[in-house]
Structure 1
Amino acid sequence: MTATTPITTPFTAASTAAEVVSGIDLTGRRAVVTGGASGIGVETARALAGAGAEVTLAVRNLTTGGRAAEDIMESTGNRRLAVAPLDLADQESIASFAALWDGPLHILVNNAGVMAAPETRTPEGWELQFATNHLGHFALTTGLHEALAAADGARVVSVSSAAHLRSPVVFEDIHFRHRPYEPWAAYGQSKTANVLFAVEASRRWADDGITVNSLMPGTIRTRLQRYVTEDELTRLRAESGGEASWKTPEQGAATSVLVATSPLLEGVGGRYFEDCNEAPPHRPGTRTGVADYALDPAAAARLWQVSAEMLAG
């Protein structure tokens, strides 16, 4: 398969995570799912556990995470579930998680996130959505690089969104220090960063056997939208074609699970998927496809450098 051949699969927008992973044996594989206690995160973890993987739910709330792990164990019969604390807006929490990880890591699903939050800053002064959705996962993944390299064929899943079409990464003012803060522009920028991260990480880590891909899970009503009003949800439904295009959490997790497990993606990295297939280039006037700026290798390399410098202080 050439680098320019789009990845196509038998699965569609209606496929569920369980259907996508059916017939795939993940026994002996270890996975981490950030935000694995709710929404598409818990369904991603459930599908991986159902295929035999040892799954760690990386969560902010250990009580909620514990309940999710018990539910997954009950529904799959797989007892190899763990729960570990992780706050992606807290660099000490991220460093602790990475330091405590022991042994290889075969699958890392960077799923957690915050959407359209009111203007909030971390102790470092970073805008919260960029700090959580991108910088937090950047720090986590680079912190786990040795474990991923030890897995011999590890996959990293970067959960992005069609919202990346709202904004490129505005390198001149990433943290909205000079321009007026706009929640959706901030969210869109962070989701573009998720795609760019996959592009550059795949390039840098190809010799380690690590592939990184990004994806749009679909539109699903979860706690991710806790800052979104009902009026805004109505507008989003209209933009996305109405209620019929919304997915269940099980369907929303399908593309993440496909990217994490499908044999069709063996050795494939730096791509963006939606509805269980590689996405085409974005066409103006639509809410699908991937923006050219999100796959730009120069922007991806610049974002990596800028992110590393931010984390270094």
Structure 2
Amino acid sequence: MTRITGIRGLTAGSSAQEVVDGVDLDGRVAVVTGASSGIGVETARALASAGARVVLAVRRPEAGERVAEDIRRSTGSTAVAVQELVLDDLGSVDRFVDRWSGPLHVLVNNAGIMATPERYTSAGWELQFATNHLGHFALATGLHDALRDADDARVVSVASTGSNDSPVVFEDLFFLRRPYDPSEAYGQSKTANVLFAVGAWQRWAGDGITANACMPGGIWTNLQQHWDPEVLRREQARATDVVKTPQQGAATSVLLATAPELSGVGGRYFEDCREAEIVPEVLDGLHGVRDWALDPVAAERLWDVSLALLDAERRRTR
């Protein structure tokens, strides 16, 4: 399988707006999770500027409304709406799905949390796995029919080279039998994000749904709020030459959501507006993907486990 590079000359320094230059999304509908801060804002802005009707799916609707108004002003689009979505609350995800009507052309699973202290949801799920993977899995599978009813629907799973830190440990997903490590928990959830794209492509390609995962790049946002302050300062000082702006960080997500060149291309992992290489280890922290994140057998297993977890929680709360 040939690795995809060189799309329209786009690079690591390209912005989301450059990606949609000349792209017409009129009549298409997009949902962007986590669109009240960071790269989610710029992903939504680029999609709106290209003519899409965009729904900001956010934990805090009041913050989402402020962002929506800013996007309306900057793009001239009036088709920007806000809906509440709390990804670590399955009831909230199901309510979002139940309210949805009509086809959905683009779903960008962008929201995420990183390196949090050890916490669990009411379902007993470790918080990072619950938020980053299971909530998005419930959202995407719940919206499957809306995606199927669209023309060339795209699902974008925003992952990270944090997946280098851990495969999905099926024997102990929630750190019940091993010491909790915030970075390993984050890494596992990001590996799950990539495996979801692989699994969705395996199942949904025949429905006209394309699913891919991406690494946005190194961007300083609220995502790092749980880092040790000294570590954060040290990394900010060290990595000045590779840090992206939020507009640049949103570019690869927007590419996967919109590029005509990627129609019918799925189950892959992209970075810097190109397909990443499979590597034995992500040495620089920014480039490449481990083979365990693209393993179709692990993707199949994760899909089945995720469905079982959601089903058990719905029965528990019925």
Task: Quote the offset at 1:152 in angstroms.
Answer: 2.3
Question: Could you report, residue by residue, the CA deviation over 1:48-95 in whole angstroms, capped at 9, with x for unpaired residues?
Answer: 000000000000111100000000000000000110000000000000
Task: Quote the offset at 1:237 in angstroms.
Answer: 5.0
**Structure 1: segments with no counterpart, 5+ residues:** none
Task: Quote the offset at 1:283 in angstroms.
Answer: 4.2
- The match for 1:164 is 163
Letter in 2 for 1:291: R
- SS of aligned partner of 2:213: strand
Give distance in 1, aligned partners of 2:249 and 2:300: 29
- 1:194-213 counterparts in 2 under 5 A? 194-213=193-212
Task: Quote the offset at 1:231 in angstroms.
Answer: 2.0
Question: Could you report, residue by residue, the CA deviation over 1:134-192 in whole angstroms, capped at 9, with x for unpaired residues?
Answer: 00000000000000000021000000001000100001101000000000000000000
- The match for 1:216 is 215
Give distance in 2, aligned partners of 1:29 and 1:109: 14
The counterpart of 1:243, out of the listed 237, 240, 243, is: 240
Contact 1:218–1:252 (8 Å) recurs in 2: yes
**Structure 2: segments with no counterpart, 5+ residues:** 313-318
Task: Quote the offset at 1:6 in angstroms.
Answer: 1.1
- SS of aligned partner of 1:218: coil
- The match for 1:275 is 272
Give distance in 2, aligned partners of 1:152 and 1:51: 17
Task: Quote the offset at 1:235 in angstroms.
Answer: 5.2
Letter in 2 for 1:141: A
- The match for 2:182 is 183
Give distance in 2, aligned partners of 1:286 and 1:63: 38
TM-score (norm 2): 0.95
Q: Moved runs in structure 1, 4+ residues, more than 4 A?
A: 234-238
The counterpart of 2:259, out of the listed 240, 257, 262, is: 262
Letter in 2 for 1:175: F
The answer to whether structure 1 residue 292 and structure 2 residue 291 are counterparts is yes
- The match for 2:94 is 95
| Percent sequence identity over aligned pairs | 62
TM-score (norm 1): 0.96
Give distance in 2, aligned partners of 1:212 and 1:59: 21
Give distance in 2, aligned partners of 1:155 and 1:42: 18
Count of aligned pairs between the two proteins? 308
- The match for 1:46 is 45
Give distance in 2, aligned partners of 1:283 and 1:180: 25
- 1:38-117 counterparts in 2 under 5 A? 38-117=37-116
Task: Quote the offset at 1:128 in angstroms.
Answer: 0.1
Contact 1:7–1:264 (8 Å) recurs in 2: no
Contact 1:157–1:214 (8 Å) recurs in 2: yes
- SS of aligned partner of 1:83: strand
